[in-house]
Chain A
Amino acid sequence: MTTPVLETVGLAKRFGRKWALRDCTLSIPSGKVAALVGPNGAGKSTLLRMAVGLSRPTAGTIKVLGELPGHENATLLQRIGYLDQERPLYRGFRVDEMFRFGQGANPMWNMELAHSYVDQLGISLRDQVNNLSSGQQAQVALTMCLAKQPELLILDEPAAALDPIAREDLLRLLMRQVAERGTTVVLSTHALGDVGSICDYLVILSHSSVVLADDMEFVVESHRFLSASSSISPTLPDGVTVIDTRTSSRDVTHLVRMALPIVDDTWQITEPTLDEIIMAYLRLGTSSVASEAHGPHAATRGGIS
């Protein structure tokens, strides 16, 4: 069994009296493009910053590529590329100066790769970072991560606030790296469209806790809508966990996670879309409906213990 790229056990982070992340236990396997999804304040950025050693846990442990992240662990930092959501580049630098910095700070730096990426994107090396559009700044920041040639890319909302074209360019650049080098990616995002199109592993964080962590394929296959007339109100099949329930005057519809295939004629069974599943889980934290599915342990397979 290969070492998970990101493994946390009971991880928690508190800022003052507020918990940004609580009791987070998950394990993301290598070779995946994992999406970290959750509403604002769910703890996504907090988790990613702890993964790269920018912040220390209040409780629990976190391992990245089998090692404890820390400010003095340069060998681990060498294996990770991190893109912060604010894309903090040195505004007064030119693009080539940013790359020179990258070269000086990373032994595995590939200058040729960095030049070819920005060249393809139409960004001049002589351009000052401050004069670039936010989309171009994101591209430069991502190129800084890619030119390190890391094993793991940790991207905090890489495509946030970008126009559709810039977003597509950025994601194309990212996917090229994944295809060419087999880099594992963990990215946080609000864009559900990106999750379905580029990711193959899903982690959902809600209200500072992990509510789902699994392979994308399995996530879709293991969820179903069960609908029935509200006047009949049949008993739910065995082995299902209700994630979300919607009722109208005539029907009741449950989104359920099933352990085994459902064979029950009393329910009309339909396959939900990925967006519907994610939205249901995001609502989970704010709703008291999912009685059985409360807590992270109910909605996971393998990824969460």
Chain B
Amino acid sequence: MTWMAWRLQRSVFLLFVVMAVVLIGFVIANGLHTESLLHQWNSATCYGTRHGYITKSQVQCGTIFHQFAQSTTYDRYFAMAGGLLCGVLGLLLGVNLVASEIDRKTVRTAWTQSITRTRWLSSKIIVSLGSLLAVGLPLCFTHTWWIGAVNYGSRVAPNAFAYDGWMPLMIGVFAFALTTVIGVLLRRPGWTIAAALIAMVLVMWTMQGEVRANLVPLRTAVVGTTIVTKGDFTGAIPTHVAPKNSWIVFQGYEPLNSGNALLTRGEETRWGNEMNRCETGPISQSQVPACQHKLGLRDVQLYVANNEFWTLQLREGAIYLAGAAFLFELSLLLVRRTKA
């Protein structure tokens, strides 16, 4: 059965291997180039240029900066491509697993051989997971290295987190399991892909918006303000903000006794509006703290520090894995009950 399972997904797998190899090749080349540019930019030669001074190395360092900017122009898309590749592979393997076989009626041949449906599906699941690992693991390794090499920015922030670490692989496995179950239920490949895509978008949106921030304890930065006057500019500049590259989950006003808990959306709006009503007229150094004091509020940033990256990866990945395991079990149950 292992050979059979492999033969049925061979074309899809090989296509994705080719795509992964191309992407990995580009990512390695781009990563090494960008890393070298960053190294030169951060060297002592460009120290003056970095701080806005005119130096002898001005032209050379300007060129380096320009090349760096150029090499990182499409970073976002390559990061996404790496992340999506596993997800799409999971989707296609999932739809091939049962829905395509039911649609082509080949299950009538497969399910009347001398093997149980449990063994038939288990073998196919294991081989597909092997394919996902074979494509996903090298992709995850190189992407994780590349995101670090090109100084992508915050690794816990939503714009990169799902494409970094082992998340692409975990999302791919979950997409595979979800598509398998939907395929057993809908029995048509086209509808299965459409439904699975919608379901995956919903799952990832929920994970990012509602779940992820609760997976690690949030940290609080109580923001102060300093009125700064420079040239014709006078305004309040925040101080004591969250560290660089953190994922700022909430920024605004909250009651003094709130701790590190997230406010509800209604509370967020309410306290923001209260402060806006209080702060009338031209901003003065004393007005903002006075309003905060009067309303019993503080200006905060609740954030996930960048060094929580692997903890967050582990926990969110575990949720996807547990979800996939449940869905695989469900698909086994459904396949045993389904008619051919």
- Residues of A with Cβ closer than 8 Å to B? 49, 52-56, 71-75, 77-78, 80, 82, 84, 86, 88-91, 93, 97, 100-102, 104-108, 141, 144, 148
Question: What are 15 A-B contacts with C-beta separation under 8 Å?
Answer: A49-B339, A54-B108, A55-B339, A71-B336, A74-B115, A74-B116, A80-B112, A84-B105, A84-B112, A104-B1, A104-B2, A105-B4, A105-B110, A144-B109, A148-B113
Q: How far is the CB of A140 from chain B (nearest CB, A)?
A: 11
| Contact between chains at B114 and A106 (CB < 8 Å) | yes
Measured CB to CB, the nearest residue on chain B to A15 is B339
| Contact between chains at B340 and A100 (CB < 8 Å) | no
B:78-128 near A, CB below 8 Å: 104-119
| Contact between chains at A72 and B106 (CB < 8 Å) | no
Question: B8 at the A/B interface (Cβ < 8 Å)?
Answer: yes
Q: Which 9 A-B pairs have the closest CB atoms?
A: A105-B113, A78-B114, A88-B105, A54-B340, A82-B112, A71-B117, A84-B108, A106-B114, A55-B339
Contact (A108, B114) CB under 8 Å given A84-B105, A86-B105: yes
Please give 13 more A-B residue pairs, beta carbons under 8 A apart, in addition to A105-B1, A141-B109.
Answer: A49-B340, A54-B108, A54-B339, A71-B117, A71-B118, A77-B115, A78-B114, A88-B104, A90-B8, A105-B113, A105-B115, A106-B113, A106-B114
Residues in B with CB closer than 8 Å to A52 are 112
Measured CB to CB, the nearest residue on chain A to B339 is A55
| Contact between chains at A100 and B114 (CB < 8 Å) | no
Q: How far is the CB of A180 from chain B (nearest CB, A)?
A: 21
Question: B277 at the A/B interface (Cβ < 8 Å)?
Answer: no
Q: How far is the CA of A80 from the CA of B112 in the complex (A)?
A: 8
Contact of B4 among A55, A101, A148 (CB under 8 A): A101
One digit per residue, 1 when the CB lies within 8 angstroms of any chain A CB and 0 when it does not, for chain B 1-39 equals 111100110000000000000000000000000000000
Q: How far is the CA of A82 from the CA of B109 in the complex (A)?
A: 8
Measured CB to CB, the nearest residue on chain B to A86 is B105
Q: How far is the CB of B340 from chain A (nearest CB, A)?
A: 4
Residues in A with CB closer than 8 Å to B114 are 74-75, 77-78, 105-108, 148
Residues in A with CB closer than 8 Å to B112 are 52-54, 77, 80, 82, 84
Q: Which of A52, A55, A77 has the most CB of B within 10 A?
A: A77
Q: How far is the CA of A54 from the CA of B110 in the complex (A)?
A: 10
Residues in B with CB closer than 8 Å to A141 are 109
| Contact between chains at B106 and A88 (CB < 8 Å) | yes
Measured CB to CB, the nearest residue on chain A to B112 is A82
Q: How far is the CB of A183 from chain B (nearest CB, A)?
A: 16
Q: How far is the CB of A16 from chain B (nearest CB, A)?
A: 13
Interface SS of chain A: loop
Residues in A with CB closer than 8 Å to B4 are 100-101, 104-105
Q: How far is the CA of A55 from the CA of B117 in the complex (A)?
A: 13
Contact (A86, B108) CB under 8 Å given A72-B336, A101-B4, A105-B1: yes
Residues in B with CB closer than 8 Å to A106 are 113-114
Q: How far is the CB of A142 from chain B (nearest CB, A)?
A: 12
Q: How far is the CA of A148 from the CA of B113 in the complex (A)?
A: 8
Q: How far is the CB of A281 from chain B (nearest CB, A)?
A: 29
Q: How far is the CB of A79 from chain B (nearest CB, A)?
A: 9
Residues in A with CB closer than 8 Å to B340 are 49, 54-55
Residues in A with CB closer than 8 Å to B116 are 71-74
Q: How far is the CA of A54 from the CA of B117 in the complex (A)?
A: 10
| Contact between chains at B113 and A102 (CB < 8 Å) | yes
Q: How far is the CB of A298 from chain B (nearest CB, A)?
A: 33
| Contact between chains at A89 and B111 (CB < 8 Å) | no
Contact of A77 among B7, B106, B113, B118 (CB under 8 A): B113
Measured CB to CB, the nearest residue on chain B to A85 is B108
Contact of A93 among B1, B7, B107, B108 (CB under 8 A): B7
Q: How far is the CB of A19 from chain B (nearest CB, A)?
A: 16
| Contact between chains at B336 and A88 (CB < 8 Å) | no
| Contact between chains at B111 and A71 (CB < 8 Å) | yes
| Contact between chains at B111 and A54 (CB < 8 Å) | yes
| Contact between chains at B108 and A72 (CB < 8 Å) | no
Q: How far is the CA of A264 from the CA of B2 in the complex (A)?
A: 70
Measured CB to CB, the nearest residue on chain B to A54 is B340
Q: How far is the CA of A73 from the CA of B117 in the complex (A)?
A: 9
Residues in A with CB closer than 8 Å to B105 are 84, 86, 88
Residues in B with CB closer than 8 Å to A101 are 3-4, 7, 113
| Contact between chains at A88 and B117 (CB < 8 Å) | no
Q: Which of B7, B104, B106, B108 has the most CB of A within 10 A?
A: B108
Contact (A89, B109) CB under 8 Å given A74-B114, A77-B115, A104-B4: yes
Q: How far is the CA of A232 from the CA of B301 in the complex (A)?
A: 108
Q: How far is the CB of B237 from chain A (nearest CB, A)?
A: 65
Residues in A with CB closer than 8 Å to B109 are 84, 88-90, 141, 144
Q: How far is the CB of B242 from chain A (nearest CB, A)?
A: 55
Q: How far is the CB of A127 from chain B (nearest CB, A)?
A: 16
Measured CB to CB, the nearest residue on chain A to B111 is A54
Q: How far is the CB of A114 from chain B (nearest CB, A)?
A: 14
Q: How far is the CA of A148 from the CA of B112 in the complex (A)?
A: 11
Q: How far is the CB of B335 from chain A (nearest CB, A)?
A: 8
Q: Which of B107, B113, B118 has the most CB of A within 10 A?
A: B113
Measured CB to CB, the nearest residue on chain B to A148 is B114
Q: How far is the CA of A90 from the CA of B4 in the complex (A)?
A: 10
Residues in B with CB closer than 8 Å to A108 are 114
Measured CB to CB, the nearest residue on chain A to B118 is A72
Q: How far is the CA of A105 from the CA of B109 in the complex (A)?
A: 11
Q: How far is the CB of B188 from chain A (nearest CB, A)?
A: 16
Q: How far is the CA of A93 from the CA of B101 in the complex (A)?
A: 14
Measured CB to CB, the nearest residue on chain A to B7 is A97
Q: How far is the CB of A187 from chain B (nearest CB, A)?
A: 15
Residues in B with CB closer than 8 Å to A74 are 114-116, 119
Q: How far is the CB of A136 from chain B (nearest CB, A)?
A: 16
Residues in B with CB closer than 8 Å to A93 are 7
